[in-house]
Chains A and B, each alone.
Chain A
């Protein structure tokens, strides 16, 4: 079945640690996105990529990094520079030029 998968479902981070969230899609979409959602708030764009080996910062990129080495994969690293990482992270993909984004099931990141 086509879709987007995110792993892990829950992730715990220790102080000063970098952690990487996985996002994979088999929809053959060129564009991929990472969002952060805090309780009672909407989605805020962290990074997005429209093509392999290229990505752009969103509205809250500080403390995060991404890579896009393969079309199917867009991992997000939450670095130790992100001082308030506890949130729900959603990955999405779309066909470039089409507005509808398809979302993965999300990863909930918690700080120990």
Chain B
């Protein structure tokens, strides 16, 4: 059975802290891994990772994939209250184009 596990499930930090969110997966026919940020409603796309060891960066956020150990991490440095959200990890399968398996998400709360 395909599985995507995120940890921790929830995290409370203070502004300025650095956080690392984890996503491990066991899926058949891996194609890519995506990170999304969900604040109130619709998830918004953050990163897509397909190759091991290549860091993707966007401002204070960065992410990397390890296809040997089957995990990805999402780092947020100098956190701000606006980073408070649910962060979702999704793995896209190669068998059925577009079919994806999501993790349960990490709820991040950044306190002022």
Residues of A within 8 A of B (CB): 31, 33, 35, 40-45, 48, 50, 56, 58-59, 90, 94, 96-97, 99-106
By beta carbon, the residue of chain A nearest B43 is A103
Which B65-110 residues have a C-beta within 8 angstroms of A? Answer: 88, 90, 92, 96-105, 107
Which B11-43 residues have a C-beta within 8 angstroms of A? Answer: 31-32, 34, 41-43
With a CB–CB cut-off of 8 A, which chain A residues contact B61?
A: none
With a CB–CB cut-off of 8 A, which chain B residues contact A50?
A: 97-98
Contact flag A103-B42 (CB < 8 Å), given A31-B98, A42-B103? yes
Contact flag A45-B41 (CB < 8 Å), given A40-B9, A100-B48? no
Could you say which of B41, B99, B103 contacts A48, with CB atoms under 8 Å apart? B99
Interface of B is mostly: strand
Number of A-B pairs, beta carbon distance below 8 Å? 65
Q: How far is the CB of B24 from chain A (nearest CB, A)?
A: 14
With a CB–CB cut-off of 8 A, which chain A residues contact B103?
A: 42
Complex Cα–Cα for A45 and B88 (A): 14
Could you say which of B32, B102, B107 contacts A44, with CB atoms under 8 Å apart? B102
Contact flag A99-B41 (CB < 8 Å), given A42-B88, A42-B103, A44-B102? no
Could you say which of B4, B31, B34, B104 contacts A100, with CB atoms under 8 Å apart? B34
With a CB–CB cut-off of 8 A, which chain A residues contact B42?
A: 90, 103-106
Q: Is the CB of A41 within 8 A of B96?
A: no
Q: Is the CB of A99 within 8 A of B9?
A: no
8 A/B residue pairs, CB under 8 Å, sorted by A: A45-B99, A48-B98, A56-B99, A99-B32, A99-B92, A101-B45, A102-B45, A105-B42
Q: Is the CB of B41 within 8 A of A106?
A: yes
The list of the 10 closest CB pairs from A to B, nearest first, reads A42-B102, A103-B42, A43-B102, A42-B104, A99-B92, A105-B41, A31-B98, A99-B32, A106-B41, A41-B104
